[in-house]
Chain A
């Protein structure tokens, strides 16, 4: 089969690989119809996440058709069209039983601090991902769901991570009616989080970024008020002014490890790998919210230390809430919102990349060329 393969930092290519095999009785093999490149894939691409091995296939957002099932699979059969959450989870461990599917204890031998994720390094379990023609799907009775007949493919693939994560991020903000919500980052997760903040009754939604076309999308897609932080001497002070010097009630970090806005922070993390991530957005969130506020962290960070301003967070009495999104838990309610027309996930898709052009796709997304917001990967479009 053809698959995206990591060759070292900033280098990937499409090459021939063996079709994955059933390795556990509850595995399925899924023929991928549509995958996506996630902003967090860029952390792998840039070599930031420990134990990212040459030869690995990335990709944790995907839909496809069941090609083969293991002997214990009861809920799926060959030919089913499925959407697969980015979390690999068993359904019965202490965490899964309580709805924390992203923290499953039975799928990642390499680390206890994170669950299993498709194509996301050995730190997340060592599973090959779905930017390929086929992918192994463990616990096929638990994770995947048949795609509802009424749902379009591009909407379905975005439910497997980005949209679910944005929705989850807004929930972790504990938004109450009339709250001022600041979202850092106008990438896919930030756009969805901003959109979903309204569903929870926000009174004002502000999006901060430095890429003008993304801010434009935040205005049109998420009806948010936007600010380009490069236009302000100090974005924290600007946010205080916007809120009559109180500060926002809720902040959502939808940027994560490669945040811009501070050269030293960015270079020491994204380039020199001396930090788990550049916490610029998170530090701005800590400083720009009011005392007693809630910060929801959806941006992904690596496992090593990062220079986060915990002193300010403590002194301000902030609540910091975070997790990888337990995707399947979001779906029933999220599907209602899509069906009711409150959210049209595919409105943020800008690029559809054939698998053979995967290296260009990553570069376009990473360097933010060509108005790129969300690139999809089409494995069969060779």
Chain B
């Protein structure tokens, strides 16, 4: 028992487990485990044929962590920083990853980016649509109620917050636009 030197017994022996579970114990020997030990020199370099890779051309001043000595030879080029969100992001990269300011500014940049792009989408033929883009209609086609009803799911207590998080800013923005239009109309009416 636990409060002595004895280990609590396991109900099945190794032989019983080997008989019941396909492959039981085949990696029992740590030598068979590919990530043991953690640091293992890889003689084959997995196919690389360089000591240091060629450098990818930098087409714009690529933002980088000050914890790097230089721009890494390869990097992603998706979504270059633009607008106010881009300015916030570039500013965030002045701070190291060790500073909360770095991450909090990036999070702020993300929120601004979403607003900028929602607004921009209304000037296109493909405006953002929170109904189709959230996939919420799958609630009707994929058993939204049955998946929750009578289930002991711990996530049911916070799922009602999702429509508020997603829809709240849209409702607020709609209200502000409505109020602005009304005020404008009133102003025009009182002048004439």
**A positions within 8 Å CB-CB of B:** 7-13, 15, 23-26, 47, 50-57, 72, 74-75, 88-92, 96-101, 105-113, 116, 122-123, 125-128, 138-139, 141-143, 168, 171-172, 177-178, 180, 196, 198-201, 203-204, 210-212, 223, 228-231, 243-246, 260-261, 263, 266-267, 270-271, 273, 302-305, 326, 328-330, 332-334, 337, 340-343, 358-364, 367-371
Contacts and interface: CB of A to CB of B under 8 A. Distances in A.
A181 B10 CA distance: 12
Contact of B35 (A12, A26, A172, A180): A172
Nearest to B45: A91
A12 B135 CA distance: 8
Given A126-B79, A244-B1, A364-B142, A107 B34 contact: no
Closest CB pairs A-B (n = 4)? A91-B48, A342-B23, A126-B76, A363-B135
Interface string B77-97: 111000001000100110001
A204 B17 CA distance: 9
Given A92-B50, A177-B25, A246-B2, A139 B74 contact: yes
A113 B79 contact: no
B70 to A, nearest CB: 9
25 contacts: A7-B128, A10-B165, A11-B166, A51-B89, A54-B79, A54-B116, A97-B41, A98-B40, A106-B73, A107-B72, A122-B78, A127-B76, A141-B49, A142-B46, A142-B48, A177-B25, A223-B21, A228-B152, A245-B2, A271-B158, A328-B46, A333-B33, A334-B34, A341-B23, A368-B153
B78 A126 contact: yes
Interface in B101-141: 103-104, 106-107, 109-111, 113-114, 116-118, 121, 126, 128, 130, 132-139, 141
Interface residues of B, number: 102
A56 B155 CA distance: 28
B187 interface: no
Contact of B10 (A74, A138, A204, A330): A204
A110 B64 contact: yes
Interface centre among B12, B135, B159, by most chain A C-beta atoms within 10 angstroms, is: B135
Interface string B12-26: 101001001111111
Interface string B43-67: 0011111111110110000111101
B34 to A, nearest CB: 5
Contacts of B42: 91, 96-99, 329
Q: How would you classify the secondary structure of chain B's contact residues: helix, strand, loop or mixed?
A: loop
Given A90-B53, A112-B68, A244-B2, A363 B106 contact: no
Nearest to B165: A271
Given A126-B79, A128-B76, A246-B2, A333 B27 contact: yes
Contacts of A364: 135, 138, 142
A304 B107 CA distance: 10
Interface of B: 1-2, 7-8, 10-12, 14, 17, 20-28, 32-36, 38-42, 45-54, 56-57, 62-65, 67-68, 71-79, 85, 89, 92-93, 97, 100, 103-104, 106-107, 109-111, 113-114, 116-118, 121, 126, 128, 130, 132-139, 141-144, 147, 151-155, 157-159, 161-162, 165-166
A99 B74 contact: no
A53 B79 contact: yes
A267 B71 contact: no
